[in-house]
């Protein structure tokens, strides 16, 4: 899992280069065509690598087809219905599987604690509290995603728009880095130390969940924006990152399940083999 030390200024420069390149790419397509296995492998590896950093794997997945000259794939990304939707299911499932495997011990404890808390109708342990914090923080993005994911994807899942949001994401990371440095400086001077995750209240968890809505825009990193939100609530870097990736797991997995009919239906014709290989690449 990520070290979260990706330099935000370097990210802005990288995103600006992508924006300049994508803006110059001319992409037209007269009809849809399936994704080739080579394209699927490249995008899957790209997803797996960029998922290690708070730099928006989805934003890069939108931009790179235009950079490689895959015009049909690039043109299909923002269509209301296309094979791209079915392929993204594979990317989501791959990411969710990786997160579940990495945090498997945490999730076993969290699910068990939530079940106990529900039976006793009380919150008595830090793990029970963490489980309910994750539920509260998941609600804003889950509701917004159900209502707005489709129109936002149609409008903004284009290389130029994704490149612009990658630049925005870079500035979000800069803000988070400044917050982290201020916290370290305050601690070194004997002032208030960073908060522990156990001190986060439900209102603050909801605010971090609201920040996660930004990830609906291709180019804004889900982990990046929620880590920064956690830093601004006073969490240390480690706890902000842990909460961020635990928070990402249920909503990414749910998005994959929600879009599964696209993969099993007509949109998945000709690409199921390519899409089903994504969990092994990411």
CA dist., res. 84 & res. 57, Å (int): 15
Number of domains the chain contains: 1
Rg (CA), the chain: 19
For 6-25, b/e burial (b = at least 16 CB within 10 A) is bebeebbebbeebbeebeeb
Angle between helices 237-258 and 202-211 (to 10 degrees): 60
Note the pLDDT of residue 81.
80
pLDDT of 176 over the 90 cut: yes
Q: 123 near 129, Cβ under 8 Å?
A: yes
61 belongs to a structural domain: yes
276 belongs to a structural domain: yes
3 belongs to a structural domain: no
Note the pLDDT of residue 29.
37
Note the pLDDT of residue 16.
59
pLDDT band, residue 187 (cuts 50/70/90): confident
178 belongs to a structural domain: yes
Q: Give the mean pLDDT of 109-117.
A: 97
CA dist., res. 99 & res. 97, Å (int): 5
CA dist., res. 247 & res. 253, Å (int): 11
57 belongs to a structural domain: yes
**pLDDT for 40-68, tens place per residue?**
888 888 888 888 789 998 899 899 888 88
Q: 224 near 55, Cβ under 8 Å?
A: yes
Alpha helices in 189-271 (DSSP H): 202-211, 222-232, 237-258, 260-264
2 belongs to a structural domain: no
1 belongs to a structural domain: no
190 belongs to a structural domain: yes
Q: 250 near 138, Cβ under 8 Å?
A: yes
Note the pLDDT of residue 77.
80
- The top-scoring range by mean pLDDT among 86-100, 193-207, 255-269 is 193-207
Print the domain residue range for 206.
Answer: 8-281
Q: Give the mean pLDDT of 28-45.
A: 72
Q: 67 near 21, Cβ under 8 Å?
A: yes
Q: 217 near 165, Cβ under 8 Å?
A: yes
What is the residue-averaged pLDDT of the chain?
84
């Amino acid at each position: 899992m990520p070290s979260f030390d990706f330099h935000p200024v370097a990210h802005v420069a990288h995103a600006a280069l992508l924006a300049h390149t994508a803006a110059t790419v001319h992409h037209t397509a007269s009809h849809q065509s399936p994704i080739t296995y080579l394209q699927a492998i490249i995008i899957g590896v790209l997803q797996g690598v960029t998922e290690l950093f708070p730099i928006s794997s989805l934003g890069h997945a939108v931009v790179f087809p235009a950079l490689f000259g895959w015009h049909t794939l690039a043109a299909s990304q923002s269509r209301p219905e296309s094979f791209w939707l079915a392929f993204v299911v594979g990317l989501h499932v791959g990411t969710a599987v990786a997160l579940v495997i990495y945090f498997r011990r945490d999730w076993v404890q969290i699910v068990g604690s939530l079940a106990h808390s529900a039976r006793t109708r009380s919150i008595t342990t830090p793990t029970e509290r963490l489980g309910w914090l994750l539920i509260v923080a998941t609600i804003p993005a889950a509701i917004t995603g159900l209502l707005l994911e489709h129109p936002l994807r149609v409008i903004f899942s284009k290389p130029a728009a994704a490149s612009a949001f990658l630049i925005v994401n870079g500035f979000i990371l800069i803000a988070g880095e400044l917050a982290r440095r201020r916290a370290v400086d305050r601690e070194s001077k004997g002032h208030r130390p960073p908060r522990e995750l156990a001190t986060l209240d439900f209102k603050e968890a909801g605010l971090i969940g609201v920040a996660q809505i930004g990830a609906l825009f291709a180019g804004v990193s889900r982990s990046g924006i929620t880590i920064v939100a956690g830093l601004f609530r006073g969490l240390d870097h480690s706890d902000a990152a842990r909460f961020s990736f635990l928070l990402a797991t249920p909503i990414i997995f749910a998005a994959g399940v929600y879009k599964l009919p696209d993969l099993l239906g007509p949109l998945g014709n000709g690409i199921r083999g390519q899409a089903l290989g994504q969990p092994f690449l990411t």
